[in-house]
Every structure is written in structure tokens, then in C-alpha cells.
């Protein structure tokens, strides 16, 4: 009897507890439930909850999914490394150079102007000399950012962004798109005309360093052969600058005969001096005495038969094709012949001397780009430690 009574009382208490809990849940239905520490891992914060609510923890299923994704990514990268052939150091440098050049041509003008501002070598009230990067054109060219297009921004950077200025920057002695080195800018039209007059009288000294495929013979001299532009016929017709000599061998082959100059030919003279040679290549210093289009490239390729490394335009006369390199040069550069088309033109404006009017002469030596230095190291070419070059 007592046992049955106890069970009945216990049952009444359980029913009362269940009814009481249901009543409390109804009263608190509009509020967030209070969860224990273990239950909080599966809970999600209510949209109207306070900002101080505890951040939901990562669930086990989410953690497992993240681990599987990272594992699949690692396996994919491993398969790519195993299937793709290793890239040589030279090819990687050329790829980086092409990417860098493309970035400079397509970036916002302010970005290119900031880059040029960091490369300024000399500045005064008349001129500014900066280190032109490889692959960026000086004059206007469709589809790319040019140096001329960012000169107004660069001028403000030089004079101070908060300062109103009437000065301007004008290219004086331009450089080719694929060349690098000292670029001279005038701050006014009057200075520009003065510098052009000095250049026509050969009073502006410009020296270039080039790496050639071949060793010029003799090692020092003057090339004085006019240059003319001609059309090259064939599967891909195009125009090239070429030599228009004033002398030719006579029929007996024991002398030369003077010929009449072509009316469209331009007088062109270039001094050259071999600084070092190794593995069939040379580091040559060039000093143009005239300013004909592609003058140094044509004189080296056609007059001395030593084209500039990376000059794919003038390495062949009758066709447009990548430069053909000797096997030993390819080996030193770590390249295959099919990849030689990625070699940049190794033409660098090394030194510029501008005569001063009311001040001493302006003499600037321009540091060489990294790709130029790395090629010198691979070919074991040394440049002289000349006080005039430093």
C-alpha cells in the first residue's frame, strides 16, 4: 500500500513538473532560450539579438568540409608542378619583364608618374633627366600609357602637388620604346629649342651600352654610312631602315668606287668601342653623332654584322622572325631557340652630358636595368670601372 501511494505521489510530481515547464516555455516564447555551453555550439544568433552576442563556433561538419577543400587544393598544385616542365631562370626573368612592361603600359597614369618620379636622376630649373624603363613608349601610342601622357602629373609631383605651376615637361632627345636609360626633358619651349640646337651641332654627348651577338672587328672605329627606309617584299611585306652606302667595290675587286647618294637617304655616323667580349658576344659602347631612326641598330646589324641582342627586327633582312642565336649563347642564357623571341632589346642609354650655359655641365650616368645586368653576368661580360661612367 505504501509503495503504491509513493508511486502515485511521484507521478503527480512529474506531471506537475511537465505542466509547469510547458507554461514557462509559453511565457518565454518571444525571448531567446538560455542554452548551456554544449548547446550553444549549434545555436544561431537571432536577427534582433544584441551586438554583444557570442559568435557561433565552427561546426564539425564545416571544419571537415574546409579540410577536404584544402587537401584537394594541395593535391591539384602538386599535380601541376609534376606535369609542368621547370622554368629556367632566364625564361622566368623574361616573363617577369614582359609582365612588368605590360603593367606599366596599362596602369593608371598616376601610377606610371610615381614610378618615373622615383627614377629622376637630375633636376634643375631648365631640365629633368630620368631613367626610362624598358618597353614604355615616349610618344603617344594607341592603347598604352606613354611617358608623354603622364608628364603633366609628373611635373606637379616635382613642383609640389599643392603648388600651382606654369612649367611643363617636354621630351628633347627621345628613346625608342624597347630601349632604356637616360631620358632628357625640357621645362620650357625655349630650353627645348636650345637643346635641339646643341644636338644638331653635336654638342650633346650621348653614350649607349649594347650587348651584341658577335665581336666587332676592329674593336674601335667610326661607322659613317647613310641610312634609308625601304620596303621588304615577301609573305609579310614591311618597311625597314637599311644602309645606303656612298661607295661600292669596283668590278676588279681591288678598290671602291663612289656612287651618287640617294635623295631619301639620311647621313648617319656612329662611334663604337668594344668594352668586353666573351662567348661570342660583346659589350659595346656606342656614341651616335647623328639622330637617324634605328641608327645604332642598323649600323651594328648591317655594317658590322653584330646585331644587338634581342633585336628581332634587324637580325634578318628579308623576313620578320625571332633572332637566331648561336648554340653556345643559348646555353649561357639558359634558353632554347624557340624561346629567343622573348629576349628584350639590350640597348641602354648609359651616359648623357649636356653643356651648361650659366652653370657647369650636366653629366649623368644612368644605372642599368636588372635584366641587362643579369645578361652580362650570364655571358661573363665585365664593364670597366671608369670614373666618367660613375
Show me where the domains of the chain are located.
Answer: 97-201, 203-381
pLDDT of residue 279: 94
pLDDT band at 9 (very low <50, low <70, confident <90, very high): very low
Sign of CA dihedral 116, 117, 122, 126: positive
State pLDDT tens for residues 354-370: 997 667 889 999 999 98
pLDDT of residue 307: 97
Helix spans in 107-254 (H)? 109-118, 147-159, 189-200
Quote helix, strand, coil % in the chain, to nearest 5: 35, 20, 45
- pTM, two decimal places: 0.74
CATH of domain 203-381: 3.30.2350.10
Least confident range of 78-82, 232-236, 247-251: 78-82
Q: Which CATH number fits domain 97-201: 3.40.50.300, 3.30.2350.10, 3.40.50.850, 3.40.50.720?
A: 3.30.2350.10
Mean pLDDT of 207-218: 97
Q: What is the DSSP code (8-state) at residue 266?
A: B
State pLDDT tens for residues 281-329: 999 999 999 999 999 999 999 999 999 999 999 998 888 889 999 999 9
CB crowding 92-126: b at 16 or more within 10 Å, else e? ebbeebeeebeebbeeeeeebbebbeeeebeeeeb
pLDDT of residue 108: 85
In the predicted structure, residue 169 carries a pLDDT above the cut 90: yes
pLDDT of residue 390: 40
Q: Which residue has the higher pLDDT, 212 or 101?
A: 212
Q: Which residue has the higher pLDDT, 5 or 125?
A: 125
Q: What is the average pLDDT value for the chain, to the nearest integer?
A: 81
Mean pLDDT of 143-154: 89
Least confident range of 12-16, 64-68, 149-153: 12-16
Amino acid at each position: 500500500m505504501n509503495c503504491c501511494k509513493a508511486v502515485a505521489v511521484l507521478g503527480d510530481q512529474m506531471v506537475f513538473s511537465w505542466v509547469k515547464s510547458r507554461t514557462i516555455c509559453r511565457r518565454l516564447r518571444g525571448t531567446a532560450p538560455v542554452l548551456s555551453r554544449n548547446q550553444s555550439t549549434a545555436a544561431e544568433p537571432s536577427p534582433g539579438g544584441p551586438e554583444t552576442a557570442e559568435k557561433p563556433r565552427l561546426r564539425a561538419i564545416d571544419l571537415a568540409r574546409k579540410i577536404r577543400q584544402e587537401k584537394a587544393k594541395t593535391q591539384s598544385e602538386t599535380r601541376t608542378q609534376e606535369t609542368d616542365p621547370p622554368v629556367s631562370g632566364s625564361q622566368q626573368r623574361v616573363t617577369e619583364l614582359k609582365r612588368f612592361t605590360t603593367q606599366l603600359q596599362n596602369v593608371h597614369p598616376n601610377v606610371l608618374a610615381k614610378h618615373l618620379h622615383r627614377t629622376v636622376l637630375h633636376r634643375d630649373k631648365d631640365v629633368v633627366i630620368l631613367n626610362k624603363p624598358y618597353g614604355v613608349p615616349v610618344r603617344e601610342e594607341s592603347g598604352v600609357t606613354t611617358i608623354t601622357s603622364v608628364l603633366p602629373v609628373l611635373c606637379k609631383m616635382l613642383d609640389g602637388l599643392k603648388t600651382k605651376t606654369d612649367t611643363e615637361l617636354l621630351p628633347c632627345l627621345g628613346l625608342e620604346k624597347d630601349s632604356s636609360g637616360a631620358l632628357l626633358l625640357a621645362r620650357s619651349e625655349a630650353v627645348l629649342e636650345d637643346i635641339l640646337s646643341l644636338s644638331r651641332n653635336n654638342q650633346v654627348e650621348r653614350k649607349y651600352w649594347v650587348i651584341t651577338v658577335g665581336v666587332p672587328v676592329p674593336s674601335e672605329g667610326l661607322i659613317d654610312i647613310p641610312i634609308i627606309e625601304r620596303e621588304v617584299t615577301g609573305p609579310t611585306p614591311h618597311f625597314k631602315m637599311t644602309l645606303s652606302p656612298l661607295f661600292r667595290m669596283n668590278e676588279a675587286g681591288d678598290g671602291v668606287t663612289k656612287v651618287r647618294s640617294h635623295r631619301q637617304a639620311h647621313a648617319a655616323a656612329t662611334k663604337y668601342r668594344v668594352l668586353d667580349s666573351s662567348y661570342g658576344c660583346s659589350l659595346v659602347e656606342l656614341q651616335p653623332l647623328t639622330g637617324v631612326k634605328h641608327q645604332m641598330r642598323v649600323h651594328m646589324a648591317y655594317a658590322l654584322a653584330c646585331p644587338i641582342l634581342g633585336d628581332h627586327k634587324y637580325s634578318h633582312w628579308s623576313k620578320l622572325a625571332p633572332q637566331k642565336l648561336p648554340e653556345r649563347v643559348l646555353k649561357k642564357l639558359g634558353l632554347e631557340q624557340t624561346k629567343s623571341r622573348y629576349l628584350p632589346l639590350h640597348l641602354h642609354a648609359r651616359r648623357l652630358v649636356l653643356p651648361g650655359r650659366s652653370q657647369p655641365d650636366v653629366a649623368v650616368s644612368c644605372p642599368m636595368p636588372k635584366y641587362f645586368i643579369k645578361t652580362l653576368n650570364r655571358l661573363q661580360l665585365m664593364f670597366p670601372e671608369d670614373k666618367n661612367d660613375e
